[in-house]
Amino acid sequence: MKHLIDPTDLSVSEIDSILNLALDIIDDKDKYSEACKGKKLATLFFEPSTRTRLSFEAAMMELGGNVLGFSSADSSSATKGESVGDTVKVVSCYADIIAMRHPKEGAPMYGAMVSDVPVINAGDGGHNHPTQTLTDLLTIKREKGRLDNFTIGLCGDLKFGRTVHSLIKALSRYENIKFILISPKELRVPEYIISEVFEKNNIEYKEVRTMEEVMSELDIIYMTRVQKERFFNEADYVRLKDTYILDMDKLKTAKKDLSILHPLPRVNEISISVDNDPRACYFRQAMNGKFVRMALMLTLLKDNNCKLNLPEDKLAKIGKMGGAD
């Protein structure tokens, strides 16, 4: 059974197929409105979320299915000491597909090992967030018309930022992407990303400390929040939290067709004065998250031999899993 735990669980051809399906859903929503009639999504969120949980739930509702689940560990039997494995095993008796977020790295992978239905990692600690990556890729594809040949600046908390780690892993498989890593030295991207992704694959990258020194080079800037919840002490968080604030002044040297992305939530790393600039893509990005999660769930359910309520021409648009690059 196919799950989605790490962005590299999907080949480039599988990613392209999910993005193309999402684009078809955007163009032809009504045709998909009963695709998951009788199907259930369980959202197991042991950590807070607005976008990921609600976009998964909206996605299943817009496919005609139902949702069940919990939005914090406090309202589940985890508080009584139940293990992640037992929780997932039990919920897989009640639902056709599971989306799971957990503060511990590897928890969704463990869940997938015992589940009888597909498990989707909706964020595990500071590790991975593959459905945010699909959201980011769909946004780049819609904004730029391509997933290759650009320079992307990743700015902020590159150490704990799971969205950044997943996006680097996915984008590094496309042609001619240049990465500029903008962070204070305390929040540099982990060493395994440098050695296992950039150096191993001969991918061009550089590390800088300010966004001003590279702004004019960027086709995309991907801003991230300094995440209070990942710090071990408050003093470090307070010292680093306002390192980067993108405002209209800093955009003076930016390209006219720069795309500004942010997985959200934002605290103050993008000034609200930027929101009305046409280059600000982050709210469109949040909307794309729902469509790409619709496409992902259809793909995993079809792969798991679930009967989908779709006409033949739409069923044919759902790609097979296990496709080679």
Amino acid residing at 247: D
CB 123 → ligand CP: shortest distance, Å?
6
Q: Show contacts with ligand CP in window 130-149 (CB under 6 A).
A: 132
- The count of other CB atoms within 10 Å of the CB of residue 134 is 26
Shortest CA distance to 163 belongs to which of 74, 51, 296? 51
- State yes or no: is 129 an active-site residue: yes
> By CB under 6 A, is residue 264 in contact with ligand CP?
yes
> By CB under 6 A, is residue 43 in contact with ligand CP?
no
- State yes or no: is 52 an active-site residue: yes
Stretch that binds ligand CP, among 78-86, 103-111, 240-248, 257-265 (CB under 6 A): 257-265
Q: Which one among 28, 212, 213, 265 touches ligand CP, defined by CB under 6 A?
A: 265
- The 3-state secondary structure of 17-38 reads HHHHHHHHHHHCHHHHCCCCCC
Residue 3 or 101 with smaller CB distance to ligand CP: 101
Dist CA 72 CA 74 (whole Å): 5
Residue 17 or 259 with smaller CB distance to ligand CP: 259
Stretch that binds ligand CP, among 11-19, 47-55, 139-147, 199-207 (CB under 6 A): 47-55
Encoding tokens for residue 68? 């069940």
From 39, 101, 293, 317, the catalytic residue: 101
> By CB under 6 A, is residue 262 in contact with ligand CP?
no
Stretch that binds ligand CP, among 50-58, 73-81, 214-222, 304-312 (CB under 6 A): 50-58
- State yes or no: is 252 an active-site residue: no
Residue 45 or 198 with smaller CB distance to ligand CP: 45
Shortest CA distance to 163 belongs to which of 44, 291, 262, 267? 262
Q: Would you call 16 helix, strand, or coil by DSSP? A: helix
Residue 123 or 153 with smaller CB distance to ligand CP: 123
CB 61 → ligand CP: shortest distance, Å?
17
Q: Is the dihedral of CA 261, 265, 270, 271 positive or negative?
A: positive
Dist CA 308 CA 259 (whole Å): 36
From 39, 43, 52, 262, the catalytic residue: 52
From 3, 39, 127, 129, the catalytic residue: 129
CB 306 → ligand CP: shortest distance, Å?
25
CB 122 → ligand CP: shortest distance, Å?
7
Dist CA 308 CA 300 (whole Å): 11
Q: Which one among 52, 115, 133, 183 touches ligand CP, defined by CB under 6 A?
A: 52
> By CB under 6 A, is residue 123 in contact with ligand CP?
yes
Residue 215 or 246 with smaller CB distance to ligand CP: 246
Dist CA 145 CA 286 (whole Å): 18
Shortest CA distance to 212 belongs to which of 239, 246, 260, 177? 246
Burial 181-209 (b: 16+ CB within 10 A, else e): bbbbeebebbeebbeebbeeeebebeeee
Interface positions with ligand CP (CB under 6 A)? 49-52, 123, 132, 263-265
